[in-house]
Chains A and B, each alone.
Chain A
């Protein structure tokens, strides 16, 4: 793994470790929480005549493995869009990759891209939840539209990014976590995804990261 950088913050009395590797670690559950892996995206492109190498998937999964080893995580909570589209060779690769873990539990909140048949999830031993998974004090959903006041949400879907602006028309676009009063939006885990830098309507802080650093803005 490239240089790991983290920030720990408390939400609802729980410690969350934000990493610059596009996932956060939830200590009480001993779980990595991540979103938007889009496995199968590169193969979908290939099938449609756009040559994108499988190495984008391989790199994503190497990073995930390094995170699992580092935190000794026992569980992955994936808040949607684990798979990109239809069944393809990328998913075969993912299947083989999963075999190396003896006791890794996978919990998936179904996202708008996850349209594969239930038998596949069963086959891969993934527990699926729709529309949300509650693990007090957190509620995990894919795309948050409405929220109740007493809950704390963790979601994905929008692939948030942040534009750092400096003097003289300088700007840098970086992925980020968006943190609201009772809601966190995760960055997309896959690097083969775009960034959505539209501003939010509500006030929030952003936890922005690069290859070797992470900081709050």
Chain B
């Protein structure tokens, strides 16, 4: 340690810190000294505590100590998942090196970088490059790219927790694998916020046996104030409801009390609606509030972000679009409207206020219905116990594998055996078999199994020098346009007729509108005039009736960590000694539930059988989040219809589900135990759902990532018209002709892991097996069942075949029309 302390490099930095009156945090100092001893590692620190300077200055110090070990060109690659952070990062780093007196070039390279800058970089790379996983892969697809990376000393992956759980994480793993092959002495560093599986996160990022690795945790803790906003009486708050409009009178004073407030909603649709509500309630805030979500023009978003940073705005209504990103100094308050969904997510949002190290973050929680108050009590408990969700890394993503192989083939070409070895060293492909790898090679060189049917397919060719290469310029071009794993719906630009860009909107939504229809975007009412070349031309509309688009993929289910605490909180909600304000407030409602039925304890599972004039209802409350509850419901319907064929209407929310039938349910105590059995669980699940339809939906992303579907870019003319097709169509063709295709298999695997959540479902059934099953009969709805009755997401479960379904739907339609 003292050796490091006395090193030239540290002396220079110490001196510089001294001049700036700056004391390093322990974790920063540890990182520097571990980097000095050639470690790789993972730094765990909350935002705002200078995590950037932990790894960045480590490299600077090392350079100052051993300038001879560094060659001209790239020394450090800084991978950040967010483009918006890059500029500020570059500025902070540049200021530091200039101050220290180092002549390093620090540059940004991503999708926003102008071509001339990129060309300049390609002639001579800067010393530090701040980039994204996608851009790194794009660089791999260029000719003679390995020369840029040969002398790379370090790769740092910022916000690793944001990449870990998705396919961008796999891209990152692959990029590191290739960089390590080109520069074997490479040191790998990750920076992450706290998540539940830090050791795994570290292992995924640096699985290489020759590395010395370490995990460095900042001992600093961020103080968080979680404040529930309660209405005056419990009755004011609906048992169920969408928006919680009644709460607006409580929100406005909060906006006035604070300097700048970020108001988070869970969907873009809600953010548009809340923007209108707040303006109506407090017209004098016009001009002082703004709306920010992923469909709003990037320039306008940047403008809003700048306005937040400079303190011009009182409040911004936003979605996950502002979960991450640049720190806004003036923000001293956050409001979350509606379900919190997950612990990490809630804390992330809270952390956007009171950003400096020793300030307190303040978050108000505004429930839109009563039961959400239990959620916030659950979050508080989880925070107390320091339990945060894990992020599971993706493994064996064949779509990303295929994309990576073609990327290499477009670039310098690859040797089969060499690349197989590299892949096996990564976490994502450590279980890749030789057969599966050979399939991937076959898929990109031959297309499919019946060779005669794929005659003109020559995507990747084995060249005479033993390298697999892409020779066609057009295929190379198409591939480069497609690199990455973020798949978005086909989007249209929304522009004023007179010019001026408003934002983006799903093609799906716009295609349902007719010319002259009014809709809301970015807080404005617009009238559709014309659609041309992936652009919707609009004018302002005075119409009072306008459709607010409901963007797809809006509602996340509750995480399993949160639901665990939710069950616990509910369990002791009625204990007299509880001092929790939320539970106290809810007591009248909970007592009503307990009187009419029961509040399930942690070791109980509640089943309610309710008969009304609508028919026969079965309610169950697994508290497992909407997705799992949906599968659970379909499974129950399937098992009940084995006793007696029935058609059910199904409703689900995050807490439970309802099965409704017009005939009496053939259920007694024994039968209820029987349908809740863990035996034959997955077999029955597969029999109860339309797996093929779900897989076809999952295949959408896979098809794009694997290059089977050419995406059209918003605002561009469809240049590849003759290559337009939908992933659904390709799924069908592949399933018919190449059922063994691994991408098809991957789609099914993703259904099992992500949609059916096999692990979570199995755990739920095991928990129920060890619980007491409480069966309650009632003639009217209970506080728990009512929300399902009025606004659960509805579906129908049936074992009828397509023809019968069509017949029935036809009959229903005729009834509607009559």
Contacts and interface: CB of A to CB of B under 8 A. Distances in A.
A169 B452 CA distance: 43
Contacts of B719: none
Interface string B712-755: 00000000001111100110010011100000000000000000
B812 interface: yes
A46 B456 contact: yes
Interface in B430-464: 443, 446-448, 450, 452-457, 459
Given A50-B708, A166-B796, A55 B450 contact: yes
B723 A45 contact: yes
A212 interface: yes
A54 B802 contact: no
A164 B806 contact: yes
Contacts of A8: none
Contact of B737 (A47, A55, A164): A55
Given A50-B723, A56-B733, A215 B810 contact: yes
A43 interface: yes
Contacts of A172: 802, 805-806, 809
A44 B722 contact: yes
Given A51-B457, A166-B805, A166-B809, A194 B726 contact: yes
Interface of B: 406, 443, 446-448, 450, 452-457, 459, 470, 472, 474-475, 478-479, 511-512, 514, 649-650, 707-708, 710, 722-726, 729-730, 733, 736-738, 793-796, 802-803, 805-806, 808-810, 812-813
Given A49-B459, A51-B443, A54-B455, A170 B514 contact: no
Given A164-B806, A166-B812, A192-B729, A44 B723 contact: yes
A48 interface: yes
Given A49-B479, A166-B796, A168-B649, A43 B456 contact: yes
A170 B448 contact: no
Contacts, number: 119
Contacts of A199: 514
A192 B470 CA distance: 27
Contacts of A164: 806, 809-810, 813
B474 A48 contact: yes
A209 to B, nearest CB: 10
Contacts of A52: 730, 733
Nearest to A45: B723
Nearest to B445: A51
Interface in A186-217: 192-194, 198-199, 201, 210, 212-213, 215, 217
Nearest to A112: B721
8 contacts: A49-B472, A51-B448, A51-B457, A53-B454, A167-B812, A168-B795, A169-B793, A172-B809
A4 to B, nearest CB: 16
A174 to B, nearest CB: 8
Contacts of B478: 48-49
A131 B130 CA distance: 56
Contacts of A193: 729
B475 A45 contact: no
A157 interface: no
A45 B725 contact: yes
A170 B802 contact: no
A212 B454 CA distance: 30
A50 B475 CA distance: 9
A192 B733 contact: yes
A55 B454 CA distance: 9
A82 to B, nearest CB: 14
B447 A46 contact: yes
B803 A84 contact: no
Interface in A61-105: 84-85, 88-89
Closest 5 A/B residue pairs (Cβ): A51-B447, A166-B809, A49-B459, A168-B796, A54-B453
